[in-house]
Amino acid sequence: MKSVLLIAIIVALASCQGAEVAEPLAVQDRSFSSVILDAVEAFRVVLQNGSPKYGVPVMAPMTAAQRSFEFNTGEFSGTFGVEDFVLQGLDQYEVKTMNMDVIRSRLTFEFDFPSVNFTTNYEMEMGSGYRVKRNGGAFFALENLNIRGRISYSLGVFTSKLRVKDVLIYPSVGNVNSQIENLSKYRIFNKKLNEVIEEFVTLTINDSTDFVAEWVSEQVTPICNDLIGDRTLSDIIAIITGGF
């Protein structure tokens, strides 16, 4: 997820700047939006086909035959494994807004995802003192996922070196659909557990406040700048226009 986000940000930023350098002022607004939309469409293709050149795998659909990891939160520890995992919908976004504010050096955007969902078989073993073992099939969907955000940047006066100043992201979700089998062997209790998960995830996403946005910004901003490195604008434009 992190790498998808970063590529999106860099594509968006670099495209805007590319337009700024390449186009005369008068047609800037129109060309900005068309260049950005081109980049957003190009990114959809990257999600669908991957980019071997940059080591980016196919992410829509994203599949994993088998994967497992151990977790240890102090209170709980265990292992969690998935088999035949398929994540769909990352490429099904609709761009609601994409505005470049050259004067204030910021890009605001809003994306809608009708459904981002996964199906998988899972196996989980966890406990503290006692052991709990669960396995079964699972379907999980975030429906009408909306992502609003703002990227602020600065541009070196003489070097045209691009720096990301901050990245603010505000997600919300219309509906969460959790159908995880076998959380409990009692059907009615299993349904209840899924409802608890649905509510927890909805609230976690919808209530992610400025605090979370700031935290994300603190994590993402340095990574962005690391990725951009010492590349000048023209380097980045070359990467973008060179295609994936």
Ligand X SMILES: *[C@@H]1O[C@H](CO)[C@@H](O)[C@H](O)[C@H]1NC(C)=O
Rg value, the chain, Cα: 21
Q: Which of 135, 184, 208, 241 binds ligand X (CB under 6 A)?
A: 135
Q: Could you tell me how many helices (H) and strands (E) the chain has, helices first?
A: 5, 6
3-state class of 160 per DSSP? coil
| 241 touches ligand X (CB under 6 A) | no
The residue among 39 and 173 lying less far from ligand X, judged by its C-beta, is 173
User: How many chain residues bind ligand X (CB under 6 A)?
Assistant: 17
Contacting range for ligand X; rule: CB under 6 A; set: 48-56, 132-140, 154-162, 225-233 = 132-140
Cβ-proximal residues to 119 (8 Å cutoff; 6+ apart), any chain: 84, 85, 86, 137, 138, 139
Q: How far is the CB of 172 from ligand X (least distance, A)?
A: 4
Residue with tokens 């071997």: 52
Contacting range for ligand X; rule: CB under 6 A; set: 10-18, 24-32, 84-92, 93-101 = 84-92
Q: How far is the CB of 171 from ligand X (least distance, A)?
A: 9
Is 115:41 a contact under the CB 8 Å cutoff? no
Cβ-proximal residues to 72 (8 Å cutoff; 6+ apart), any chain: none
| 81 touches ligand X (CB under 6 A) | no
Rounded to an integer, what is the distance from CA 14 to the centroid of its chain?
Answer: 18
Residues 170-229 that bind ligand X (CB under 6 A): 172-174, 181-182, 202, 206
* Whole-Å CA distances, 108 to 12, 65, 66, 150, 176: 10, 37, 38, 4, 26
Per the DSSP assignment, residues forming a β-bridge with 178 are: 140
Rounded to an integer, what is the distance from CA 32 to the centroid of its chain?
Answer: 23
The residue among 80 and 241 lying less far from ligand X, judged by its C-beta, is 80
DSSP per-residue codes, 30-42: HHHHHHHHHHHHH
Q: How far is the CB of 37 from ligand X (least distance, A)?
A: 20
The residue among 33 and 206 lying less far from ligand X, judged by its C-beta, is 206
Q: How far is the CB of 65 from ligand X (least distance, A)?
A: 18
The residue among 153 and 170 lying less far from ligand X, judged by its C-beta, is 170
The residue among 50 and 174 lying less far from ligand X, judged by its C-beta, is 174
Interacting residues toward ligand X by CB under 6 A? 88-89, 92, 114-115, 117, 135-137, 141, 172-174, 181-182, 202, 206
